[in-house]
Amino acid sequence: MEYDVVIGLETHAELDTDTKLFCGCSTAFGSEPNTQTCPVCLALPGVLPVINRKAFEHTVKTALALNCEINNFVNFDRKNYYYPDLPKNYQISQNYFNLGNDGFIELNVKGKKNRIGIHNVHLEEDAGKLVHPEASDASYSLIDFNRAGVPLVEIVTKPDMRCIDEVEVFMHTLRNILLYIGVSDCKMQEGSLRFEASISLCRKGAQVFGNRVEIKNLNSMKAVLKVLAYEISRQRELLERGEQIVMETRLWDEISAVSRRMRLKEESHDYRYFPEPDLVPILVDKKNIESIRMTIPELPTKRHQRFVSEYLISEYDAGILTESKSLSDYFEECVKLTSNSPKELTNWIINDVLRVLNEKKKEIQDFNISPKMLVELIEMKSEIGGAIAKEVFSEMSNTGKDAPTVVREKNLKPLSNTAELSSLVSEIIGANPKAVEDYGNGKESALSFLVGQSMKVTKGKANPKTLLEIFKEKLANSP
């Protein structure tokens, strides 16, 4: 039987702020455990939260970038549950009055445009981290509260995704948008971006969705894709056998590559949400929203389309260039600096710049070669030749020196002095009588051989075109 797959995604992104959501503690990653804590984020008796304005603005920005309606009355709610990494045993989140509602993201799945609905965007605080000792017989766990209270934006989609490809494109597009608008560094390895998925299967064309399974704590995009593939086949098998899908929450076990039951729907928490009385509702000012909207740059989908129409590069190349804001900024910076064709710049960036970045595991922001330096190199290409240009590029990327410096220091300047070249040509002619004879007999390829010999002697520094002309002239004049 054929099935429709219905997938929804909840994304948590750590917001890029200096301090936590409700206190002044630092949010820096990787410090010694519990060094970034205070009475507020440790939930000592008598403390109160104070909202971080920057985190609030970042959430508004996110909601706007995802085409949401911004609620003009925003409030926080307490989500009550007990867990040792949650100091207050409630999380300050939003439930009744989310910051943003009813948005969408436009996807381009293999050339097909598609819209995924955003149910809501809201702001909440992160929990701490349990650290389990390595010894398997240890009878304790430790808690690091450095992360407790770090601001998170939660983005909840509608159940609009129908296949894994869509999910993959969605995650990349969303990550890209968050990076473009600068609200999160989206570093998966530091837990800045985390996902929860919900998935159900129903008979193809059925009006009613099947029973939903939720999967928690997915720390990489790969894990999301793997667990969804696993769930689709698990649920399909059950349905084929005529069994029911149980409403439940499952956890993904990365090592054995299976999902396991965490709890049944009936066992799920009753979070007993109620409005947070320690914070005052925020009346969102229209003017304020507009001024935040002004700070949103051109988003990737739009930029992609513009690159294709304005610079006449392929859809595919435009896709790669707009993959990150900083890369597309880099590209446009280069375009502005040169009259060379954007196509040539694109080739350089995709083939050379990205290759080196990949090898060096670097981001474009930390790249040794600035747009100005790259353009300078490309403009020297006609003079120094492609092979040398690549060599110069490689040296530039290692040392950070500009092209003229590299050419000078490594003595890569092409031999352009005609007198020098002329004597070189005479030498080569003298040393290769056979080839000269062949050329005289009308064998054109002999000329290429002679030029090649000269290149060898000069280690590629001579301009082959000039050489060719001198050879032709000399051989024509020789008896």
The residue among 28 and 48 lying less far from another protein, judged by its C-beta, is 48
| Sole binder of Zn ion in the list 25, 345, 406, 462 (CB under 5 A) | 25
* DSSP conformational letter for 240: H
From the list Zn ion, another protein, none, partner contacted by residue 280 (C-beta under 5 to 8 A by kind):
another protein
> Does position 137 bind another protein by CB under 8 A?
no
Partner from Zn ion, another protein, none binding residue 440, C-beta < 5-8 Å depending on class: none
In the complex with another protein, the residue whose CB is nearer, 274 or 316, is: 274
273 binds, among Zn ion, another protein, none (CB under 5 to 8 A by kind): another protein
Distance CA 129, CA 142 (A): 8
Among 8, 87, 103, 300, binds another protein (CB under 8 A): 87
Distance of CA 208 to the CA centre of its chain: 36
Residue 25 touches which of Zn ion, another protein, none (Cβ within 5-8 Å per kind): Zn ion
Using the rule CB under 8 A, give the single segment among 43-51, 108-116, 175-183, 337-345 that binds another protein.
43-51
Please name the residues in contact with 212: beta carbons below 8 A apart, sequence gap of 6 or more: 198, 199, 200, 247
Task: Order the strands of the 90-93 sheet from edge to edge.
Answer: 90-93, 77-80, 274-275
Whether 183 contacts 62, CB under 8 Å: yes
Question: Which of 25, 403 has the CB closer to Zn ion?
Answer: 25
Which amino acid is located at 105 in the chain? I
Among 26, 67, 75, 80, binds another protein (CB under 8 A): 80
Encoding tokens for residue 129? 């981290």
119, two tokens: 């149910």
**Calpha distance 390→377 (Å, rounded):** 9
Q: How far is CA 261 from CA 10, 13, 201, 258, 412, in A?
A: 19, 25, 18, 10, 65
Size of the site for Zn ion (CB under 5 A): 5
For the chain, the maximum distance between any two Cα atoms, rounded to a whole number of angstroms, is: 105
Measured from the CB of residue 295, what is the shortest distance to Zn ion in angstroms? 27
282 or 353, CB closer to another protein?
A: 282
Q: Does 169 bind Zn ion (CB under 5 A)?
A: no
Residue 23 lies near Zn ion (rule: CB under 5 A):
yes
41 binds Zn ion (CB under 5 A): yes
Q: Which does 78 bind (CB under 5 to 8 A by kind): Zn ion, another protein, none?
A: another protein
Which of 50, 257 has the CB closer to another protein?
A: 50
Identify the sign of the CA torsion 404, 409, 411, 417.
positive
Reduce the DSSP state of residue 460 to 3 states and report it: coil
- Sites for another protein among residues 270-309 (CB under 8 A): 270, 272-275, 277-280
CB of 148 to another protein, least distance (A): 11
Among Zn ion, another protein, none, the one that 41 touches (CB under a kind-dependent 5 to 8 A) is: Zn ion
Rounded to an integer, what distance in angstroms lies between the CA atom of residue 107 and that of residue 85? 36
Closest CA to 63 of 114, 14, 34, 100: 100
Query: What span, in angstroms and rounded, lies between the C-alpha atoms of 247 and 387?
Result: 62
277 binds, among Zn ion, another protein, none (CB under 5 to 8 A by kind): another protein
Q: Strand 258-264 relative to strand 151-157: parallel, antiparallel, unpaired?
A: unpaired
Using an 8 Å Cβ cutoff, are 21 and 150 in contact? yes
- Residue 19's beta-bridge partner residues? 26
Binding piece for another protein, criterion CB under 8 A, among 49-57, 314-322, 328-336, 389-397: 49-57
Q: How far is the CB of 38 from Zn ion (least distance, A)?
A: 3
Examine residue 446 and tell whether it contacts Zn ion (CB under 5 A): no
Binding segment for Zn ion (CB under 5 A), chosen from 40-48, 80-88, 247-255, 377-385, is: 40-48
Give the footprint of another protein on residues 11-40 (CB under 8 A): 39
Q: How many other C-beta atoms are found inside a 10 Å radius of the C-beta of residue 327?
A: 21
Length of the chain measured in residues:
479
Q: Is 47 in the site for another protein (CB under 8 A)?
A: yes
Q: Beta-carbon neighbour count of residue 341 at 10 Å? A: 13
Q: How far apart are CA 391 and CA 385, in angstroms?
A: 10
Question: Smaller CB distance to Zn ion: residue 42 or 415?
Answer: 42
51 binds another protein (CB under 8 A): yes
Q: Does 440 bind another protein (CB under 8 A)?
A: no
| Binding range to another protein, per CB under 8 A, among 79-87, 154-162, 303-311, 404-412 | 79-87
Which option in another protein, Zn ion, none does residue 289 bind, with CB closer than 5 to 8 A by kind?
none
- The region that residue 434 occupies, defined by phi over 0 for left and psi between -120 and 50 for alpha, beta otherwise, is alpha
Residues lying near another protein in the complex (CB under 8 A)? 39, 42-51, 78, 80, 82, 84, 87-90, 139, 143, 270, 272-275, 277-280
Per CB under 5 A, residues contacting Zn ion are 23, 25, 38, 40-41
